[in-house]
Amino acid sequence: MKNYIPYSGNQLLNIPSLNKDSAFTNEEREKFNLIGLLPSKIETIEEQSSRIYKQYSSLEKDIDKYVFLRGLQDRNETLFYYVLNQHVSEMMPIVYTPTVGTASTDFSNIFRKGRGLFLSAQDADHIDLIVNSVRDNDIKVIVITDGERVLGLGDLGIGGMAISIGKLSLYSCCGGIPPSKTLPIVIDVGTNNQSLLSDPLYLGLKQPRLTGEDYFNFIDVVIKALQSRWSTAVIQFEDFAQKNAMPLLNKYKDNTNCFNDDIQGTAAVTLGSLISASKKLNRRLSDNVICFLGAGSAGCGIADYITKQMVTEGLSESEARDRIFMVDKNGLLFENDQNLQEFQTAFARKSKLVTEWNIADQSFIDLETVIRNSGANILIGVSGATGAFGESIVEALLCNDPHPIIFPLSNPTSKAEASANQLVEWSNGNAIIATGSPVKPFVFANKEYNIDQCNNCYIFPGIGLGAIAAKASRVTDNMLLRASRALADYALANVDSDTKILPPLDDIRNLSKHLAFEVAEQAALDGVALYQSAETIQKNIDNIFWEPEYKPYHRVSY
């Protein structure tokens, strides 16, 4: 397929999706009026990548590396993704967690160039016009945030745009979605972060956040405009506050091609990791008792997917829920708690449980007490409570199981419930561990540990790719659950370490293709896509899957 380009000169060099920098051939330089605008040497993308990596490696601070890579992305997208693919394990913590947290916090201070759409509440009457100003009529994936709950850092206003950009970088890097078919969006409805409101450099609306009906009405205007322009695009909700995340998901999931990554994506990757870990120990997931610290929308979303998996393994729904214990800052959740949110009620325990445990103080039942009385052998942290998994917590788990499974998933690293190093030491290397943020390899008792990062990037790129390949009209829970099981199966088939439960990041593009096939098949089974043969699904995936390589250009006039 020939690429006919109507642009020339500096105009062509300033389009990041088309720019090749020093890799333009002599023929292209002549045809596109580039002679004299570039150094005379014609380089390959490999040579360019070598220079970029050398420059990157000379930087000491992670945030400086982030700014450097974002600058490359805004100048030459093909080269950016080529470099990222070559060094994905090293650079993913820079383009996404944990460094993206710093980038979100400092967004206005490090801002260089706009990318995507900034949809402000003050422009509510012009959202259709703004959405229609986007050049591409075939956007495939949209990541949208209002920046109110960025990672574990809270309200960062339009700084949430860094999250949308970062997620879509992973869609292209890991899932092969062409970057020109992605669109990052931040919804600017103000901020309640006083430090941002008083910062003269803050680029967002300097007003308190919209709430209630005004907030939901504006979101509705945005979603309708996006649906009207790109009716089949997958919309990923990202980093919405707990009070809004579940209501928005429930409102749109049955009539919009969408999912919430914090709720469903986190649930899917955690479930896949738990299935993999359980199989490593020659168990089913339903053989375990699971305790959560953190009972927000993410924690309850994971618990819901765990319940669904246990049901497929033969338990009733009530039996599955009886194996799950939710603890938050107020202790174990009980059904008579007047402060329970609707999504928490399914996992709140009956009061008679306290009597059976024979606990003197029934007003607050803490995490360690729950573990010791429930027999829990899996512990998942989604609380943002730094250091909450202390040595006594690990000792309690070891009393229940010589090989407990411990996932401190809170992001960024500063919010983690425990460090992997501590958990390995306290369990004497016997726990199976996965973390929310990346961990550098370390040695304990003369053995090297490479701890898995339970990162949503193992799931959402394959989900998006599969939904696109199937031409699905919705993203269903069954599609995500099937991706979880496929992730576990792929990990077990491709990892031979006794401590690893997830495949290496270097293999993530092959993993995404594998998940996409499973997701596309499930979409047809769920009735949200037409039936396609296995051969057709695979062909669709291969046709969509984008590789960062330069194509020859041919000049065409307007």
Q: Which residues does the annotation mark as catalytic?
A: 96, 167
Question: 190: exposed, middle or buried (C-beta count within 10 Å: 0-12, 13-18, 19+)?
Answer: buried
DSSP single-letter state for residue 330: T
DSSP single-letter state for residue 431: S
Q: Which run of H or of E encompasses 450?
A: none
Task: Tell me how far apart the alpha carbons of residues 267 and 274 are, in angstroms, rounded to a whole number.
Answer: 10
Q: Are 59 and 32 spatial neighbours (Cβ–Cβ below 8 Å)?
A: no
Beta bridge pairs of residue 4: 554
Task: Tell me how far apart the alpha carbons of residues 430 and 381 are, in angstroms, rounded to a whole number.
Answer: 18
Neighbours of 442 (CB within 10 A): 15
DSSP per position, 501-540: -S--GGGHHHHHHHHHHHHHHHHHHTTSS----HHHHHHH
Closest CA to 348 of 361, 339, 356, 358: 339
Residues 6+ apart with CB under 8 A from 555: 4, 5, 6, 8, 31, 32
Retrieve residue 165's tokens: 């950009």
What residue spans of 253-403 are helical by DSSP H? 266-280, 297-312, 317-321, 352-357, 367-374, 391-400
Residues 6+ apart with CB under 8 A from 503: 458, 490, 491, 494, 495, 511
Task: Tell me how far apart the alpha carbons of residues 276 and 278 are, in angstroms, rounded to a whole number.
Answer: 5
Beta bridge pairs of residue 3: 553
Q: Beta 331-332 vs 324-328: how paired, if at all?
A: antiparallel
Kindly provide the residue ranges of all beta strands, DSSP E only, lying in 409-502, ordered along the sequence: 432-435, 442-444, 447-449, 452-453
DSSP single-letter state for residue 154: B
| Buried-exposed string 363-395: b where 16+ CB fall within 10 A, e elsewhere | eebebbbbbbbbebbbbbbbbbbeebbeeebbe
Closest CA to 146 of 137, 138, 155: 155
Tell me how far the alpha carbon of residue 435 is from its chain's centroid. Answer: 14
